[in-house]
């Protein structure tokens, strides 16, 4: 299922500019669905599934970044101008604005959850390393002190 979602999204992003323009909402929805799947796999997937989805997310983020840069060049806007325009409700239909706001909330929440999970994983690795080092230290008998 993940392969189909990702492949469909990449295909949409590979279409011509006019086609992408027509399918913008479908692209947004596909990205949102993929981001949700990403979080599900990170939360409950196997190690292999996590590695695959992280790699796919990296590819998707890079592709979105490239598309964003192309759009900016085509419109003659700086990243700051695009950001400003994207924060003004008057530039969107009510449906688009609601979708953008919901997506932004989801992405912020997901980013915070990712940070928490990475911190927990780091702490777990540190605990495992300390336990391993302690086990090694107690497993050796000192040759210096003989009672």
Q: How confident is the model at residue 113 (pLDDT cuts 50, 70, 90)?
A: confident
Closest CA to 37 of 65, 11, 8: 8
Query: What pLDDT was estimated at residue 144?
Result: 62
Q: pTM of the full predicted structure?
A: 0.62
Based on the structure, what is the number of domains in the chain? Answer: 1
Structural domain includes residue 129: no
Q: How confident is the model at residue 142 (pLDDT cuts 50, 70, 90)?
A: low
- Structural domain including 14 reads 2-120
Structural domain includes residue 68: yes
Structural domain includes residue 140: no
Structural domain includes residue 40: yes
- Taking the C-alpha atoms of residue 59 and residue 56, their distance in angstroms, rounded to an integer, is 5
Residue 139 has pLDDT above 70, yes or no: no
Structural domain includes residue 131: no
Residue 83 has pLDDT above 80, yes or no: yes
Structural domain includes residue 146: no
Structural domain includes residue 27: yes
């Amino acid at each position: 299922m993940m392969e189909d979602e990702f492949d469909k999204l990449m295909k949409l992003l590979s279409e011509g500019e006019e086609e992408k323009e027509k399918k913008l909402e479908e692209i947004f929805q596909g990205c949102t669905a993929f981001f949700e799947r990403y979080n599900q796999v990170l939360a409950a997937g196997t190690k292999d599934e996590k590695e695959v989805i992280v790699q796919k997310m990296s590819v998707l983020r890079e592709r979105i970044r490239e598309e964003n840069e192309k759009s900016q060049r085509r419109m003659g806007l700086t990243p700051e101008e695009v950001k400003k325009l994207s924060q003004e409700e008057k530039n969107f239909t009510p449906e688009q604005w609601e979708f953008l706001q919901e997506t932004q909330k989801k992405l912020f929440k997901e980013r915070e959850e990712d940070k928490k999970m990475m911190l927990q994983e780091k702490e777990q690795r540190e605990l495992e390393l300390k336990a391993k080092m302690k086990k090694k230290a107690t497993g050796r008998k000192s040759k210096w002190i003989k009672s």
